[in-house]
A and B are shown apart, each in its own frame.
Chain A
Amino acid sequence: MKYSKTTPYFFILPMATGLLVFRLGPIIVAALASFTKWNIRTAPQFIGIGNYTEAINSEIFWLVVKNTIEYMVIFVPGVMLLALLLALLVNQKLRGIAFFRGIYFLPYITAMVAVAMVWNWIFATRFGILNFALTHYFHISNPPAWLADQRWALPALTIVAIWKESGFQMMVFLAGLQGIPTSLYEAAAIDGADKKQQFFKITFPLLSPVTFFVFINTLVIAFKTFDITYTMTGGGPNYASTTLVFYIYQNAFIYDRMGYATANAVLLLLIVGAITMFSFKMKERWVNYAL
């Protein structure tokens, strides 16, 4: 393709402007702010790596890191398994399948504020429908207080998060499944492979690049979780459901500690970066690009 040297820049100009002004700019300011003491109202004060040493020596910081990892460890496999199951189910040629796809996608398109009220109501300790069902139909006398219970708040949030995210990842898996040529299944069937063998010998290996894409995607989403915490527990009780991004938000907006908040953000980035890099390293072991 022939074009003058300046032509490409006209194409990228709007995006590049936005990227530099509204994204990179604030990020650089935030990174610099991580070396300062700053409450937004007065000028930032340089304190070196003080915020970082404070975070590393803080018990709450490590509790929050632990929560984030616990959340991730349930969320990522949960979404992946449910999404794959949904995709396999809706990949069949059955009457009304578009309707089911729509239903599974519905939680994804909904604003968390809109459904948080319903989920709060489901999990409510005394008048919630979940505990009503547990006590009346399953005869469990002391059901947990869910969102108000230190042990159950985070798992309850994770369930809602899985419910909300799976529909989108289902679509990604579905796109991958539809990219596998049907001739492979026909050939396998002629050779006498049963459905189980077909799944493990054809579907699973050929789907592995998509699986990897979904894995990285859900991993990043897991670390960014915010809306659900904000609308359902506010991080409580007693930090039990506070994850890193919510903790950053708390420090920045509630405690007015911008410098400390951004230092935490930098630490978060380092953790996500390390895990992502490790995942890419492990990729060759199981991801199969050859057809």
Chain B
Amino acid sequence: MTMSVTTPKSSGRINPRHIRIVLSYLALTFLAIFSIFPFLWMLNTTFQSQGAVFSLPPKLGDMIFKPGMFDAYKEVLTKYNFMRYTLNSLFVAGMAAIGQLITASLAGFAFAKMEFKGKNLLFGILLSTSMIPVSVTIIPEFLLMSKLNWLDTYLPLIVPSFLVGTFGTFMMREFFSTIPNELVEAAMLDGATTFRIYRTIFLPLSVPAMTTLFLIAFIHNWNDLLRPVLYISSSSLRTVTVGLTSFQGEYGARWNLLLAGATISILPLLIIYIFAQRYIVEGIATTGLK
């Protein structure tokens, strides 16, 4: 037997590295379809005229590239107030997330670099209370908010998150611990106050951690449903998640409009993610893993 079964050299051997790359892309694409399929369908439905919404198998949106392609978006934004809801959510989530950056970084600095009475107790309370689900504490919280006369304002949605975030404080503490004490001592010799050290050394170094924290806090507050449902009664104060839920209750059959609203609710988060993405891995890496 002289016939060789190996590939002749002239046609070029298949490089195992290339096979691996092709297999990787196949796996990446397959999993990407699983991740993104619901969104694609959602998006496609927003380009359907009313009658075509329920067709099976799903058809490509019949309004795509036609005049009036974005009619569903126009209608929910203007007629059903989603513009207002989106701005409300931006305000609430933005304030809560910015607040958390301030308070979590202040507290994280004290936890990482200072000694004080009650430090461990306070940190223990912070961590252990974060295990308790909101639905347990929401009723006493509701009673508290009504005593404070905060019902139907944004204060109950903003203030608690603004002041205290477990993940954020933990994350900032972990990150600040990695900053060498020599840096602090040197600044001290130059006569800097503790607050100045925090502001001019620690904050600038923590951009990746703070960006990640902002993204997570923003997502969390933007997507919250329970608190806005309980605390907000005026329709002009509704956040986008509440807007979606009530729209679903009132005009449940208008799928293309409903899903246009849902798409609008995701868009700002996607934009923030795109800006923050290069910091996320680094932000998570420096914190909370050890």
Contacts and interface: CB of A to CB of B under 8 A. Distances in A.
A15 B35 contact: no
Q: How large is the interface on B (under 10, 10 to 19, 20 to 34, 35 or more residues)?
A: 35 or more
Interface in B232-288: 240-241, 244-245, 248, 255, 258-259, 262-263, 265-266, 269-270, 273-274, 277, 280-282, 284-285, 288
A268 B265 CA distance: 33
A261 B27 contact: no
Contact of B144 (A22, A113, A167): A22
The winner among A5, A15, A127, A223 for most chain B CB atoms within 10 A is A15
Contacts of B270: 106, 109
B24 A94 contact: yes
B137 A27 contact: yes
A84 interface: no
B284 A248 contact: no
B290 interface: yes
A119 B258 CA distance: 14
A19 B125 contact: yes
B181 interface: yes
Interface in B123-143: 125-126, 129, 131-133, 135-141, 143
Interface string A169-185: 00110111011000000
Bin the interface of chain A by size. Answer: 35 or more
A110 B109 CA distance: 31
B56 to A, nearest CB: 5
Contacts of B126: 15, 19
Interface in A198-256: 209-210, 213, 220, 223-224, 226-227, 230, 245, 248-249, 252
B1 interface: no
B289 A213 contact: yes
A136 B184 CA distance: 68
29 contacts: A8-B119, A11-B110, A12-B106, A15-B104, A23-B160, A26-B141, A29-B140, A30-B136, A33-B139, A89-B24, A90-B28, A109-B269, A109-B273, A111-B241, A111-B266, A117-B248, A117-B255, A117-B262, A118-B39, A129-B56, A129-B58, A136-B57, A172-B284, A174-B284, A213-B288, A227-B225, A252-B135, A265-B135, A272-B131
Interface of B: 21, 24-25, 27-28, 31-32, 34-36, 38-39, 41-42, 54, 56-58, 102-104, 106-107, 109-111, 113-116, 119, 122, 125-126, 129, 131-133, 135-141, 143-144, 159-160, 162-164, 169, 181, 184-185, 188, 194, 197-198, 219, 222-223, 225-226, 240-241, 244-245, 248, 255, 258-259, 262-263, 265-266, 269-270, 273-274, 277, 280-282, 284-285, 288-290
Closest 4 CB pairs of A and B: A18-B163, A18-B164, A175-B285, A29-B140
Given A132-B56, A172-B289, 12 more contacts: A1-B181, A19-B163, A19-B164, A22-B141, A26-B140, A100-B32, A104-B31, A111-B222, A114-B244, A115-B39, A178-B285, A265-B133
